[in-house]
Amino acid sequence: MEKSTLITKLSLKYGFMLAAVSIVISLTLYFINPVMLYTNFALPLVILIIFIALLVFVGITIRKEIGGYWTFGEAFKSFLIIALILAITSVLYNVILMTLIDPDLPAKAAAAIEESQRSMMEKFGMASEQIDEAMAKAGNMQEKLAPTFKNSFTSFGVSVAMYAVLGLILAAILKKKQPVVFNTLPEQEA
């Protein structure tokens, strides 16, 4: 099989595996507490670190499966395919979650986010007028979380951009050139 085709095939395989892991993590967190992902500031960071580790593992695995070497371009192509799968899956999952599984989630999450932000601002000693002004500037959180076409398209674009940048970094780190082997002819005896 041609190397480029094999990279595409493996990227699709591992992309869908990572998408399944992402959905399992999201559903697990949803069943523990539906708004935890929106109100816990450390949790998205932990999930990002887990996914970076998984992407590194997948990148190394794909590189091994194609012979142990790949160029920056081949590595980036692989990570971009995985990024597209993760972004599409994420948007579809969120639309299904917020329209079919729990249509009230945007309202619940918005209320929890606003309460969390208000509490944090109070801890910093802000006056209630300043808090109200900051909350007004933030806009209607429920509208921002609703699974509209605009929000879904924006989420997809941001996800692809974020994963593409991460893919560039990982491709630069995980690229590995095949060593150049020089054929040496045996010395002829005179």
Q: Are the C-beta atoms of residues 71 and 174 closer than 8 Å to each other?
A: no
CB count, 10 Å around CB of 5?
A: 9
Tens of pLDDT, residues 126-137: 888 888 888 888
Is residue 67 situated within a structural domain?
yes
How far apart (Å, rounded) are the C-alpha atoms in residues 37 and 101? 16
How far apart (Å, rounded) are the C-alpha atoms in residues 54 and 106? 29
Instruction: Give the phi and the psi of residue 176 in degrees, each rounded to 5.
Output: -150, 115
Is residue 186 situated within a structural domain?
no
Is residue 128 situated within a structural domain?
yes
Tens of pLDDT, residues 25-70: 999 999 999 988 888 889 999 999 999 999 999 999 999 999 999 9
Average pLDDT, integer, range 138-158: 87
Is residue 183 situated within a structural domain?
no
Average pLDDT, integer, range 112-128: 85
CB count, 10 Å around CB of 73?
A: 11
How far apart (Å, rounded) are the C-alpha atoms in residues 71 and 97? 39
How far apart (Å, rounded) are the C-alpha atoms in residues 21 and 92? 15
- Read off the pTM: 0.82
Average pLDDT, integer, range 67-80: 94
Q: Are the C-beta atoms of residues 87 and 158 closer than 8 Å to each other?
A: no
Domain, as residue range, for 94: 3-173
Mean pLDDT over each residue of the chain, to the nearest integer:
90
**Is residue 150 scored above 90 in pLDDT?**
yes
Overall domain count for the chain: 1
Average pLDDT, integer, range 12-29: 96
Is residue 76 situated within a structural domain?
yes
